[in-house]
Structure 1
Amino acid sequence: MSVYEGQHVYGMHGMHVVHDGPRDAPPLVLIHGSGASGSSWGPVVPALASRYHVIRIDLPGHGQSPPAQSYDVPEQAASLAAALDELGLRPVTVVGHSSGGYIATALAERRPDLVGSLALISSGPSPDALLPQPAFLRALMNPPLGPLLWKVRSDAMLRRGVTAVCNRPVDVPDALVAEVRGIGYRTFRTVLRQNTAYIAERNVPARLTALDVPVLVIFGAADPRWDPTSAHHYDTVPHARVEQLPGVGHFPMLEAPEATSELLLRFAATGR
């Protein structure tokens, strides 16, 4: 059984991919959220890679993947599908964090042949579930202060951007800080706008209801970014299970990696 320990690959489509775990194990694809990278999954990778071939993909303009002409959610899903086709992987369990859940959902909409099951972590169901954002994030998203802060941001500020949406103390991976530094401000703002457009056009529970795929929804019960009670909007989705983690904010894989890993391992094995 061949084992990939953090093997980095650049595909023909320019996507940066990291492999962990046995290559001949069932594939588990991890998709990060906006303003992040595949390194945001670091704390849960060892447990997941003990049983699965874990594939972390940096979305366009994030981490070590180059920018794209379009950051529209379906277009990003098309890039992800091309990368999975190139790897020859199907069907896969796809896990998306935050807006990565929208990319995962769009992938299942466009290419149901690729997706065997779908897990969403801290993915707000609709725009009206968004809470007033922490002051630091509000400043980043509003001109003229946002571009200035982006230009002069220090490692400490980048870590603060992550911890601002956490409810527990976390160690932000150094690799995540380094990779977030490479994201352009225009990319960051454009991705946020396109994410909002996608869930405004049709909310995520409605999109999932139209799909014939097992769904796991994980939400932090103390998420400061999305109203935690909005997790129950997913209760209407057939074949879906909703799990809330007490005392956890927007980054369950950083704040509660053991509990998050256990939920994902059970779901990948059983579809529940």
Structure 2
Amino acid sequence: MKRAALWPEHRLPAHHVPPPWPGRHVRLDGTLVHVRETPATGPGAEPALYVHGLGGSAQNWTDLAGLLADRLDGQAIDLPGFGRSEPGPRYTIPAFAERVIRWIEHSDRGPVHLFGNSLGGAISVRVAALRPDLVRTLTLVSPALPFLDFRRSLQGRMLPLLAIPRGERLAAWRLAQFSPEVTAQQVMEACVADLTRISEQRRQEAIDEIRVRYEAAHYAAAYVRTFRGLVGSFLRSYLPGEGALWRQAAVVRAPTLVVGGRQDRLVDVRVAPQAARVIPDSRLLMLDGVGHVAQLEVPRTVARAVLGLLAEAEPGQAADATPGVSPGDAPGAGLPERENAQATALAAGTGESGSERDMAG
């Protein structure tokens, strides 16, 4: 594991809050997949694919994809049953990973720079492990890799729902009890550490996304079945078998950046450091004062780390990146106020506890 390097702040595009990138539906293996595209703004841009988390959508990547458009020609997909994509037959990590693989093959853009947040991070790990030929680099933001202490996640409150027959009906009823405005606020409070970093435009877009969910009869079932599949993958990862996510992480060969927020309320904060230790060619960026969706909360900081990762593969450019930062430094100090979070890039072994070492089983 390496310390993450940060690209110079002044080399990023000017501050801007773009609207959601244009989307389109594509028929893939008989069902419609919704894809948002962030056109490249620079010559020689390489293909990138962004994969959202549980309950999210392609819009979760709007800011980061825009900041990286000079280097990356981005596509962000809505997973089956989420965003504006049609529902799928199965909602498991293997099923989602196969869908991502099929999309990369269908779009004929591989290998891609692959990005995953939360559930999307677990999916992306599996894709990178099974199809290294399709992945140039891997960026994981608060990846939902296995942990067993669900007291460390707000999602733990949903576990009883999985034991209830037809629990998705109860979830749909519960969803209908709140207005889109209230639901959007609850989601942001769970995912974001500092809500002042979220612009009014992004808040309104979140409300609009919630309205789309209310109109989709399949959404509650997709959410509950996906959560059930995720929990199942967690449990299987501590049993023998090559399909275990931690074992798959150990065979990833793509250069990897792992980003974690120290105020993450959905994924155990020990997961990101453990992922960086398990994945062979990895670098880690832990962010103080940041929650579960760093690409939404502090996109410029995440973009700097991604560009630092990309620069390592380009002779003559790596020197432009800030070297790995020690825990006492604060690279966020030069950022605008809403991103003035202390970015701590941990070196191998820094802050490691016995429980973190044991998480991979």
Counterpart of 1:196 in structure 2: which amino acid? V
Normalising by structure 1, we get a TM-score of: 0.88
C-alpha separation between the residues in 2 aligned to 1:113 and 1:217? 20
Cα deviation for residue 139 of structure 1 reads 6.6
Cα deviation for residue 46 of structure 1 reads 1.7
C-alpha separation between the residues in 1 aligned to 2:299 and 2:65? 9
Q: Comparing both chains, which one has the higher relative contact order based on Cα–Cα distances under 8 Å and sequence gaps of 6 or more?
A: 2
Counterpart of 2:126 in structure 1: which amino acid? A
C-alpha separation between the residues in 1 aligned to 2:289 and 2:273? 17
Report the equivalent of 1:174. Answer: 204
Q: Could you say if the C-alpha distance between residues 75 and 82 of structure 1 is closer, same or farther in structure 2, counting changes exceeding 3 Å?
A: same
**2:307 counterpart of 1:268:** no
**2:289 counterpart of 1:247:** yes
Deviation digits for residues 230-261 of structure 1, max 9, x if unmatched?
A: 32212132111111011101111121111011
Cα deviation for residue 188 of structure 1 reads 0.4
C-alpha contact 1:16 1:57 (8 A) present in aligned 2: yes
Cα deviation for residue 201 of structure 1 reads 2.0
Q: 1:138 aligns with which of 142, 152, 157?
A: 157
Give aligned-pair identity as a percent.
24
**2:110 is paired with a residue of what secondary structure?**
coil
Gaps of 5+ in 1: none
Report the equivalent of 2:338. Answer: none
C-alpha separation between the residues in 1 aligned to 2:293 and 2:285? 14
Spell out the pairing of 1:95-114 with structure 2 (5 A cutoff).
95-114=115-134
Deviates further, 53-62 or 21-30:
21-30
Cα deviation for residue 129 of structure 1 reads 5.1
Report the equivalent of 1:61. Answer: 81
C-alpha contact 2:122 2:145 (8 A) present in aligned 1: no
**2:230 is paired with a residue of what secondary structure?**
helix
Q: How many residues align?
A: 267
Counterpart of 2:22 in structure 1: which amino acid? Q
Cα deviation for residue 134 of structure 1 reads 4.0
Deviates further, 52-61 or 202-211:
202-211
Report the equivalent of 2:16. Answer: none
| C-alpha RMSD over aligned residues | 2.5
Gaps of 5+ in 2: 1-19, 162-166, 238-243, 319-361
Report the equivalent of 2:220. Answer: 185
Cα deviation for residue 51 of structure 1 reads 2.0
**1:250 is paired with a residue of what secondary structure?**
coil
Normalising by structure 2, we get a TM-score of: 0.67
Report the equivalent of 1:194. Answer: 229
Q: 2:188 aligns with which of 155, 158, 162?
A: 162
* Structure with larger Rg: 2
C-alpha contact 1:131 1:226 (8 A) present in aligned 2: no
C-alpha contact 1:98 1:121 (8 A) present in aligned 2: yes
Q: 2:265 aligns with which of 216, 224, 233?
A: 224
Report the equivalent of 1:16. Answer: 34
Report the equivalent of 2:22. Answer: 7
Cα deviation for residue 198 of structure 1 reads 2.2
Runs of 4+ residues over 6 Å off in structure 1: none
**2:183 counterpart of 1:153:** no
**2:137 is paired with a residue of what secondary structure?**
strand
C-alpha separation between the residues in 1 aligned to 2:33 and 2:53? 15
Report the equivalent of 2:147. Answer: 127
Q: Could you say if the C-alpha distance between residues 228 and 132 of structure 1 is closer, same or farther in structure 2, counting changes exceeding 3 Å?
A: closer
C-alpha contact 2:64 2:300 (8 A) present in aligned 1: yes
Deviates further, 194-203 or 257-266:
194-203
**2:61 is paired with a residue of what secondary structure?**
helix
Deviation digits for residues 36-83 of structure 1, max 9, x if unmatched?
A: 101111222221113210111110011110000111211111112222
